[in-house]
Amino acid sequence: MTAIETPIPVTGMPRIGDPAPSFTASTTQGDISFPSDYVGRWVVLFSHPADFTPVCTSEFMTFASMQKEFAAYNTELVGLSVDGLYSHIAWLRTIKDKITFRDMRDVEVTFPLIDDVSMEIAQKYGMIMPGEDSTKAVRAVFVIDPKAVIRAIIYYPLSLGRNFDELLRVVKALQTADHFEVATPADWRPGDAVIVPPAGSCGTADDRMTGGVDGVECEDWFFCTKQLPADEVDAAIRHR
């Protein structure tokens, strides 16, 4: 007789443009109600597979060392794994007391780390991917705007540590696009040219191609850019 295999459950996940799913949770910084406690601020909500693991340790030290940089752009950090609160506390104490990574030492993690032993929050956000691991969260990143709307989602497997410069770049690019009503091209960083929205009429397209729009340079009617100085970007989006 052939054994009947139990199918691996497939969990849905929120999409870009969806409201961030709500939850209440215990964390290393006290109880939180998400996302209501963070309305008016950007949030990077991210998951990691497990406490007391080396890749996760390197990531938490990096995030903690960059916390002020994210805060300068009105952005809070919130971590999650399916470990319990006491495990979180012990791990973060170990990081501070014993671990050195790339000249980072004595690193204190002061952003909240969520206790999600039940996996309820991880399932709600689609952080459990059975093809990778059915008992650990993958390295998910959700960038959530001040209106509690999901604006970007990035997923990494368990073996791959995240690029934290890129995560900060994503925050800056989203805020720049919102404030200036532009798009950002490949590899954009503050100070690079930005993309002007496509022409909405034949007349606008003609004006752009004949140089009739000051400050706009066009490769073709649909691909136009303009300069946006880094100090202007910084003045607009940096939280002071």
pTM: 0.90
CA distance 54 to 120: 25
8 or 89, greater pLDDT = 89
131 or 144, greater pLDDT = 144
Tokens of 48: 């990691």
Parts of the chain belonging to CATH 3.30.1020.10:
181-237
Q: Is the domain 181-237 a CATH 3.40.50.920 member?
A: no
**Nearest CA among 202, 198, 194, 201 for reference residue 225:** 194
Residue 1 is predicted with a pLDDT of 44
- The pLDDT tens digits of the residues spanning 46-84 come to 999 999 999 999 999 999 999 999 999 999 999 999 999
The CB-based long-range contact list for 22-25 (8 Å cut-off, 24+ gap) reads 23/120, 23/121, 23/124, 25/114, 25/115, 25/116, 25/121
Beta bridge partners of 228: none
Name the active-site residue from 56, 202, 218, 224.
56
**Nearest CA among 150, 131, 160 for reference residue 13:** 150
Q: Is 56 a catalytic residue?
A: yes
Residue 8 is predicted with a pLDDT of 46
CB contact burial 190-224 (16+ within 10 A = b; e otherwise): beeebbbeebeeeeebebbeeeebeeeebeeeeeb
CA distance 102 to 62: 9
Residue 220 is predicted with a pLDDT of 87
Residue 221 is predicted with a pLDDT of 82
- The pLDDT tens digits of the residues spanning 99-134 come to 999 999 999 999 999 999 999 999 999 999 999 988
7 or 238, greater pLDDT = 238
- The pLDDT tens digits of the residues spanning 4-37 come to 544 445 557 899 999 999 999 999 999 999 999 9
Q: What angle do CA 157, 57, 29 make, to 5 degrees?
A: 105
- The pLDDT tens digits of the residues spanning 171-226 come to 999 999 999 999 999 999 999 999 998 765 555 556 666 666 678 898 888 899 99
End-to-end, the C-alpha distance of the chain in Å comes to: 69
CA distance 157 to 137: 9
Parts of the chain belonging to CATH 3.40.30.10:
23-163
| Protein fold of 23-163 | Glutaredoxin (3.40.30)
Mean pLDDT across 138-154: 97
How many residues can be counted in the chain?
240
